[in-house]
Amino acid sequence: MHFDHFGQGLGDVMETFTEGSATAQMVCDSIFEGSRIVSIETTFPRPFLAEFNTHCRFSRNSASSRAIPVWKRMIAVLEKPYIPNSFGVNKAGMQAGEELSAEDQRRVVQNWLFGRDMAILQAYALAGGRKELLSTVKGEKSIAAAEALFDKIEQLSLDHGVQVRLQTQDRGLHKQHANRVLETYAFHTVIVTATHWRNFLGLRVSKMAQPEACDFGTAIAKAMRASAPIELHKSEWHLPYIRPEDRAESQGWMDLAYASSGKCARTSYLTHAGIRSLEEDISMAKGLLSNGHMSPFQHPARPRQSGDLDGSNGNYSGKWTQLRKLIENEGDFSLLISKQELVEGCRGDEELADYILSLSE
């Protein structure tokens, strides 16, 4: 299949813009009849994800604490922890006062990193310690990296004198639990697609915003300013993370749209194994569909065509139709599962399941 245009994607190496504690990189940049749709990958401190997620015009997916192996998250937090850009004195209101003195800043950072160390030790214990964590690691290089990490963590325990106080279970907790205690000190990567940006940038690139929120707003604005959108034809798609080599393997636009959705769910061009695989991307997208996880299907979009239903633009401008809106029952997972599955989800409460199914929408 021949593709004349395919939007600006990762076929070219895009510049990464760094602003304070945040980075941003253009992933895909398209335009149709004056309406620009942009997909950007941005990384910022995890504590500020809530501020980012308040913007309902955004379609977004991000790296989940339920998916990242605990040992990998601990390496990241140990080697590159989030530390606030500066520390201001306490005062009334939502903004800090003047910055602390240099000596107090040093002390605060020391205290902050002590908290980081305690979080790592807590996660290590919750995950079951060396033996349990090693059982989840695959590959010689990864095992060597994990062993080196565990040596450092056990030395931290000795340095802080907490080796007796933390109790390790016989079986390690799932990463959905153990990773949570690390989030204060972690960075978070998000893929975000939108056609409406001014309100977000007006709020976040502001002297009233917390500095870290201003960081990711400014980095995103700079990435957008530096990028030139590609004009799409009526039948072409905006496809984040799709490269020319993916197109060469594809049987058509819909395959690419599903592959793009799979990549957006991972916030990565590559699979979790670190390889490029269009087949695995499509397979992942189909698995997401069967489980009702529809948000990754919002990123691929094409220009609106005659016959598209009202509302098919979703949270984009009226010039676009989201892939998600082309999927049957995309907005009601209760239609995709059996009543028995819903009852099980309601912990056996059939009356609660009946109530849910009685709702008009």
Give pLDDT tens digits for 338-357. Answer: 999 999 999 999 999 999 99
Within the chain, all domains assigned CATH 3.30.1360 are found at 16-64+187-326
CB neighbours of 197 closer than 8 A, spacing ≥ 6?
A: 38, 220, 224
pLDDT for position 226: 96
The model carries a pTM of: 0.89
Whether the per-residue pLDDT at 42 is higher than 50: the answer is yes
128-162 tens-digit pLDDT: 999 999 998 988 899 999 999 999 999 999 888 87
**Does residue 250 or residue 111 have the better pLDDT?**
111
Can you give the pLDDT at residue 2? 41
pLDDT greater than 50 at residue 6 = no
CATH code reported for the domain at 16-64+187-326: 3.30.1360
Q: Token pair for residue 256?
A: 């690419």
Whether the per-residue pLDDT at 201 is higher than 70: the answer is yes
| Cβ within 8 Å of residue 92, ≥6 positions away | none
Mean pLDDT confidence for 172-177: 91
| Torsion from C-alpha of 51, 54, 59, 60, nearest 10 degrees | 30
Would you say the C-alpha torsion 160, 164, 166, 171 has a positive or negative sign?
Answer: positive
